[in-house]
Copies of this chain bind each other. A is one copy, B any other.
Amino acid sequence: MAELPLPELDPLSDRAVFRQIADHVREAIERGALHEGDKIPSEAQLMQHYGVARMTIRNALQVLQSEGLTVAEHGRGVFVRSRPPVRRLASDRFARRHRERGKAAFIVETEEAGGKPSVDSIKVSEAAAPSDVAERLELAGGEHVIVRSRRYLINGQPVETAVSYLPSSIAQGTQIEQPDSGPGGIYARLEELGFRLDRFVEEIRSRMPFREEVRALKLAPGVPVFHLIRTAYAADGRPVEVCDTVMSSDAYVLSYELPAR
């Protein structure tokens, strides 16, 4: 507490006390008086400093937490949140020249950035296509799809979950149905099957994560997710895959190139 001089409350302000306290701590973080990982004063210390009830302090801390500025650790304290290394997704990441190197894009990129990539929770099944997937794959009602779901991690930290849907008429009986889809991933397999990939369309949304997503991605409170739906089209214009991925928003910067023509 001695090390962190916080202002006093302004009794004339009509700004709520808990907001004033949140403002003070936020400013301390923003001006660099508190760094990533630093512990902020405990609830008891803040109570004493401001002379208010504990719930008021907790309300203030709650504000910061929902802004994603801090994380509370039970029994340890409240800390300034540190951000994971950011992964930049370039718009050429699915270029064939990358795919032909025989490794999936995720592995290559992560290793190049000096991280240890891994993939877990791989599950493959077959089911009727959900309606939004059926629509994107231009499937008739009730047609089945192969569903591949998995989770991507960097240095053991989960950063992304992905679920791919491929028409059973294409993928059934191929290596795509195996947990290990082989070198270059499912896009390489699709090309081997004669579906020369032409283009991808990605739709991006941003929202707060659901509870399962918070768990699967070990998200800090107040961190939104990117929800990205990619549809892969073969050279004849036929959609051959839909990939539904959820990414921790503070682990990613997405980058795209648009033509002006």
Contact = CB atoms under 8 A, between A and B. Distances in A.
Contact of A260 (B200, B208, B221, B257): B200
Nearest to A66: B66
Q: Which of A91, A206, A208, A255 counts the most chain B CB atoms within 10 A?
A: A206
A198 interface: yes
Given A67-B208, A208-B68, A208-B222, A203 B253 contact: yes
Contacts of A68: 207-208
A203 B252 CA distance: 10
A66 B208 contact: yes
Q: Which of A232, A260, A261 counts the most chain B CB atoms within 10 A?
A: A260
A52 interface: no
A141 to B, nearest CB: 22
A58 B198 CA distance: 52
A96 interface: yes
A126 interface: no
A198 B92 CA distance: 17
Interface in A75-124: 91-96
A252 B252 CA distance: 18
A260 B202 contact: no
A257 B208 CA distance: 25
A49 interface: no
Contacts of A226: 206
A41 interface: no
Contacts of A222: 66, 208
A256 B204 contact: yes
A249 B94 contact: no
A260 B221 CA distance: 36
21 contacts: A66-B221, A67-B208, A92-B258, A95-B260, A95-B261, A197-B260, A200-B257, A200-B258, A202-B255, A202-B257, A202-B258, A203-B253, A203-B254, A204-B253, A204-B256, A206-B225, A206-B249, A208-B222, A208-B224, A224-B224, A256-B256
Shortest 9 CB-CB contacts between residues of A and residues of B: A224-B224, A206-B249, A197-B260, A206-B206, A204-B254, A200-B258, A256-B256, A203-B255, A202-B256
Given A200-B257, A207-B224, 18 more contacts: A55-B55, A66-B66, A198-B259, A199-B259, A199-B260, A200-B260, A201-B255, A202-B256, A202-B258, A203-B253, A203-B255, A204-B204, A204-B255, A204-B256, A205-B252, A206-B225, A232-B260, A256-B256
